[in-house]
């Protein structure tokens, strides 16, 4: 499933789903919305989401 599909299914934002994955609350990219359902998010979809929402900080040292 795509990240968007999972977010729609569980009723949370893509960011919430991603945060759960990154915080290590969800093992092996499997999201458990409740005890009866689980979802697998494609790694390429996670990478694409991160790339779209990447923020860069530049340290200006002289």
What whole-number distance in Å separates Cα of residue 61 and Cα of residue 39? Answer: 45
- Measured in Å, how far apart are the chain's first and last C-alpha atoms? 47
Neighbours of 42 (CB within 10 A): 14
pLDDT at 29 over 50: no
pTM: 0.44
pLDDT at 4 over 80: yes
Whats the size of the chain, residue-wise? 62
What whole-number distance in Å separates Cα of residue 16 and Cα of residue 7? Answer: 8
Average the pLDDT over 34-60 and give the result: 64
What whole-number distance in Å separates Cα of residue 51 and Cα of residue 31? Answer: 21
């Amino acid at each position: 499933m795509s990240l968007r599909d999972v977010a729609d299914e569980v009723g949370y934002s893509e960011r919430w789903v991603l945060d759960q994955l990154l915080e290590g609350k969800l093992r092996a990219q499997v999201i458990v919305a409740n005890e009866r359902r689980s979802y697998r998010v494609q790694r390429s979809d996670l990478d694409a989401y991160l790339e779209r929402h990447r923020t860069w900080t530049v340290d200006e040292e002289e």
